[in-house]
Homo-oligomer: A and B are copies of this chain.
């Protein structure tokens, strides 16, 4: 179900949104409300409300006499939580993983730098709590993902910049995609995720010590390791030229 919307209507948002993001309906294609209505077995009100929500995410536009059509991809709200989720499920398009990792590599070290300077005791407590949660998860993949997510959320929160905190949607998308891969793959033994705790602890230590550069470095290492793990898991080469 759509992140913030409940009810039948929220399901419709999900179904239609996912289709568009997946490419079932290419930009410019028309959507036929009455067809959708019949297909999903809902009333036109539900469909209309769903289309309104999708329009607010930039996915579609509807003009009188012209009909309702998919907007060019450049107009999509790619940072919207729902859109990110829709892109993440199913087979993620090629660049998506790289884009996610890249943005994280930009945002999180910078967030750590700020966090090292602004963190309160509560921020620190939240970070420590997340690590404990991570240890307690002990291999259980969903629990680990939740703990990991809690950690990175706490990290951004400690930077005390609301807009930066808003970037957590990107991080969440990244972690969930990773999660889905871990589930899909038949990894022998451990998948090298249980030794992530020390790396996380290094981040907390640097932030506790109010050392911005150390914190940024620690996060960079953390992310580099995560990327390496993922790459090994799915066997994809580096995007970047080997400069």
Contacts and interface: CB of A to CB of B under 8 A. Distances in A.
B102 A5 contact: no
Contact of A56 (B13, B45, B63, B106): B13
B117 A79 contact: no
A170 B106 CA distance: 15
A74 B114 CA distance: 19
Contact of A79 (B5, B49, B56, B166): B166
Do most interface residues of chain A lie in helix, strand or loop, or is the interface mixed? helix
Interface in A94-116: 95, 98-100, 102-103, 106-107, 110, 114
**A interface bracket (residues with beta carbon within 8 Å of B):** 35 or more
Interface in A43-91: 45, 48-49, 52-53, 55-58, 61, 63, 74-75, 77-82
Interface in A160-183: 161-167, 169-170
A189 interface: no
B2 A78 contact: no
A86 B106 CA distance: 27
| Total identical chains | 2
A164 B102 contact: yes
A187 interface: no
A186 B192 CA distance: 61
A152 interface: no
A4 B58 contact: yes
A207 to B, nearest CB: 16
A9 interface: yes
A81 B241 CA distance: 33
Contacts of A63: 6
A185 interface: no
A161 to B, nearest CB: 5
Contacts of A57: 4, 56
Contact of A5 (B56, B78, B80): B56
Nearest to A79: B166
A243 interface: yes
A164 B99 contact: yes
Q: Which 4 residue pairs of A and B lie closest in terms of their CB atoms, listed nearest first?
A: A78-B166, A106-B110, A79-B166, A53-B56
Interface of A: 2-6, 9, 13, 45, 48-49, 52-53, 55-58, 61, 63, 74-75, 77-82, 95, 98-100, 102-103, 106-107, 110, 114, 117, 161-167, 169-170, 240-241, 243
